[in-house]
Structure 1
């Protein structure tokens, strides 16, 4: 056993040595010193099993020396406090400060000292085990078991402490939020084991990008956070961001497959962007959302303007839920006319939102929000039901043969709705609508993001409804795969029509029409705004025309009055070539 005696009284030290020798303890080394400073130095330099510490060590006292000892890194020594005092309150203070025992020098005998040392070392070992157990529990509470990084619990505490320190020292810090792009696809295609391996690889690469004081945490799922304290310049953040993206350049190889690693990263600065932890997290999250909205695989710094846009989007989503329940949505209808006779041959149902505070909101402002949430399914079913209901009413009240069709739009996410076919079947049966008078329109971008929806399109087509490819010519379609889909109709995007002022400018439109007709598709031209547009499209064999030249989208009652109950008289005669 190795012991250290710290006592400024030479007589007391000698007495302690004699008592130790008489105790029968197996002593390897007994060092002694009269100086508190030297005692701390000795305890720092080597390990002792126990220290006999005098309470009176001018100019310090034993508690102050004990505190200095306990500040030694990895200090693991039992401490017995010795004193001439009989003060029980003092003894309690020493034990509370960390001493394992308190002995009065006048009562020290060989047997008592031996028992005290053995009990103190045993007590200390128990205390160490408790501390180690607490440390293990702390690690479990603060460490992410999958990646070994700090977890959300640790991060929240670290962020609060970092902001407190930054305020006290008038410093800045940066918060980076990172989200892996399309991580769900890895889980869905390769399984969760592969997904976990992917996260572990990403965590190691992120870790290699950090500086010594940067705090890297996994918040959960595929989301990570980096806390950059004591920031001197935004250049430090930009350098860190560059290192992070550089570390992700090489693909991850899992199950013999190369997987690209891309992430969206948002940066917010304190105190420039926020006054507290909650607002700082919100700002970093807004910046990360912006990175995703801008195309992913990039970093964006927080901006107030984009924050306002995000808050507006959140409000739209919240209000849209109410709109579905409170009947604030309405369908407008835009007529389609026969390119030769100018007779009404179809209408397209277009959703509008009659917001109680804002007024009419066009679909391009709220449909993208609905598509990012599950609201698009409920919204899509409402459109189909309401359009079919209105169409049924027109069929019953029309004074003339009812031959035109009605079209409604579908989104990419609706193609993944397993209940879509059943809902459409119910609508057709409930409102007694011939299936061939209903058209469903999808954009080319819907095909790009829904290649797996081919079976759904075939199921819809098997009901007898017509399928139209909207905005044709602007995106994904090609000769190689277009015929794989059961489309009957191609709607030529208005971009190919609106710039035309003479037939000489219609070469691209001619090519699109020739392509569509060679494959047997019926064609509809959108964006007809002039008589020139009308005449050129008619001469190219386009069957149906739609645009403001004929009519803007109208409420159901107005369309009925102008187009169904009577023939429109606003159309100028068609020019013949």
Structure 2
């Protein structure tokens, strides 16, 4: 045992040395006569026990005791030695301040002092073990074991503290919420070991990119967060986000193999975007998911518009689950015109939402969210069933003839529904209709999402006599492969190819090429978005088979559609188009 003996009275020090001469317990005794010299020796060397006199000429005992017991790296058991008469108050203060024992000089004996030093050292060693265990548990509680970064609990506490500090100093705080794009694919294809190593590399990269004092956290999975203190302008956070994005776009090498990743980053700031840590995290998360929806590999600041969209989506889901929205849906019908004689040859059924406060809403205002929430197949099915009944009623009342074809849109969720084909057959049978009076419209994006499965489903529909139309052609992949192999009989040219016709010669050439291509594949062509007689005339010249657009009619309610059919005069259009 190595002992530091601190006492300003040399005679007292010698008395202690004499008491400790015979035991082999003490290997070395170092003397100090002042608190300053003792602290200097303690800093420069290592001791097992410090025997500290209560009264020193240059510093209070409790102050010296505090410096010894709270030293950042040096640890030793401290025993207080005093010549003062037994004073329980002093003894209690010393023990509370960290002393392991309190001895009176007049009661010193070899057995007593040796026992006190051994017990003090043992108790101190036990305390050190407890402190080290606590430190390890604290680290585990506050840090992510895989990356060593702060975990969610610790990060949220740091964020709350940063907001409180920003309130006092009237400064700004930034939060970046980061998610690795398509990380599940990495785990599934390369294994979780590679995925974990990749996350460790990402953590290292993030720590090199941030400023000193800012905090990086792994929230869980492939999600990270960065706390930015003392933000001067929001553009500085945007610059940091761009730097992170660029750094993660560089290849990461693991076991001599390069891996390429990207990330989506959502950003929120205090006090502009949120007032609490919880809201900052929520808003940054919303902004990040907005980046995902835009195609990933970017960053976006939270805005009130994003919050409004989220609240609208929550309200929409509640209405869908209760069936309220479904009861407010209306079916409108837009006429399809035969290009040869300008007779009405069909119609496309289009949904409208009769919103209680916003009025009649077009599909663009709600249908994407309905699909994302998983209710589109259910709505498609109910709408198709109702539309078939409407067509049967029109035919029964001689509003339309037997050749009239009703077009209905089918989304990706409907095509994935195992009962899709049988439901259509059932809808036709229940309405007393044959398959040739129905056309199922499928967009290019839906086609290529699972080409083989979609092709199989549409081929089965063809056996019922149902027509298949490729909708919005030219806005998606426009692949010749699926045009050749799909059982489609109709191609619908998107309105974007018509809106600048005939004023734009390049647009005219593109439109003509699309129609010519479709005709070469024996497809009937419906041109959407025809709004002027000049556009109709040109489409006739290029070989289009049918028109659809506001030149003839906007989408109409069932009653208005019936009136439109009764009052339609093909001859007016024939004369204008020189037919």
TM-score bucket (shorter structure): 0.7 to 0.9
2:561 corresponding residue in structure 1: 559
1:270/1:313 CA distance change after superposition, 3 Å: closer
1:308/1:556 CA distance change after superposition, 3 Å: farther
Q: Is the 8 A contact 1:392 1:433 kept in 2?
A: yes
1:400/1:242 CA distance change after superposition, 3 Å: closer
1:79 corresponding residue in structure 2: 78
Pairing of 1:105-504 with structure 2 (within 5 A): 105-231=105-231, 237=237, 240-252=240-252, 258-302=258-302, 307-324=303-320, 325-326=323-324, 327-398=327-398, 401-412=401-412, 414-417=414-417, 420-421=420-421, 423-424=423-424, 427-428=427-428, 430-447=430-447, 450=449, 452-464=450-462, 465-501=466-502
Write the distance in 1 (CA, Å) between the matches of 2:122 and 2:405: 91
Write the distance in 1 (CA, Å) between the matches of 2:219 and 2:434: 53
Q: Is the 8 A contact 1:389 1:431 kept in 2?
A: yes
1:537, distance to aligned residue in structure 2 (A): 2.1
Pairing of 1:53-64 with structure 2 (within 5 A): 53-57=52-56, 60-64=59-63
1:423, distance to aligned residue in structure 2 (A): 4.9
Q: Is the 8 A contact 1:48 1:77 kept in 2?
A: yes
Write the distance in 2 (CA, Å) between the matches of 1:32 and 1:245: 60
> What CA deviation, in whole Å up to 9, does each residue of 1:138-158 have, x standing for no partner?
222222233332211121112
TM-score, length of structure 1 as denominator length: 0.88
Which is further off, 75-84 or 376-385? 376-385
1:569, distance to aligned residue in structure 2 (A): 4.0
1:534/1:252 CA distance change after superposition, 3 Å: same
1:225, distance to aligned residue in structure 2 (A): 0.8
1:527, distance to aligned residue in structure 2 (A): 0.7
Which is further off, 516-525 or 366-375? 366-375
Write the distance in 2 (CA, Å) between the matches of 1:443 and 1:165: 53
Write the distance in 2 (CA, Å) between the matches of 1:221 and 1:158: 20
Say what the alpha-carbon RMSD is for the aligned residues.
3.1
1:190/1:456 CA distance change after superposition, 3 Å: farther
> What CA deviation, in whole Å up to 9, does each residue of 1:316-374 have, x standing for no partner?
21222244311222222211122223333222121222222222222212223334433
1:283, distance to aligned residue in structure 2 (A): 4.1
1:273, distance to aligned residue in structure 2 (A): 4.2
1:416/1:45 CA distance change after superposition, 3 Å: farther
> What CA deviation, in whole Å up to 9, does each residue of 1:17-72 have, x standing for no partner?
333334x1432322232333333332222221112233344664333322222332
1:259, distance to aligned residue in structure 2 (A): 4.0
- Unaligned runs of 5+ residues in structure 2 are none
Q: Is the 8 A contact 2:415 2:457 kept in 1?
A: no
Q: Is the 8 A contact 1:316 1:369 kept in 2?
A: no
1:316/1:91 CA distance change after superposition, 3 Å: same
- Partner SS state of residue 129, structure 2: helix
Equivalenced residue count is 568
Write the distance in 1 (CA, Å) between the matches of 2:392 and 2:147: 59
Write the distance in 2 (CA, Å) between the matches of 1:394 and 1:253: 67
Write the distance in 1 (CA, Å) between the matches of 2:241 and 2:212: 15
- Partner SS state of residue 30, structure 2: strand
> What CA deviation, in whole Å up to 9, does each residue of 1:300-324 have, x standing for no partner?
344xxxx222122112212222443
1:39/1:421 CA distance change after superposition, 3 Å: farther
> What CA deviation, in whole Å up to 9, does each residue of 1:100-130 have, x standing for no partner?
2333333332212222221222222222222
- Unaligned runs of 5+ residues in structure 1 are none
Q: Is the 8 A contact 2:336 2:345 kept in 1?
A: yes
Which is further off, 541-550 or 284-293? 284-293
Which is further off, 333-342 or 412-421? 412-421
1:382, distance to aligned residue in structure 2 (A): 4.1
- Partner SS state of residue 43, structure 2: helix
1:515 corresponding residue in structure 2: 517
Q: Is the 8 A contact 1:3 1:30 kept in 2?
A: yes
1:224, distance to aligned residue in structure 2 (A): 0.8
1:540/1:139 CA distance change after superposition, 3 Å: same
1:209/1:338 CA distance change after superposition, 3 Å: same
1:385, distance to aligned residue in structure 2 (A): 4.0
1:410/1:188 CA distance change after superposition, 3 Å: farther
1:429, distance to aligned residue in structure 2 (A): 5.2
Q: Is the 8 A contact 1:550 1:571 kept in 2?
A: no
Which is further off, 480-489 or 348-357? 480-489
Which is further off, 205-214 or 184-193? 184-193
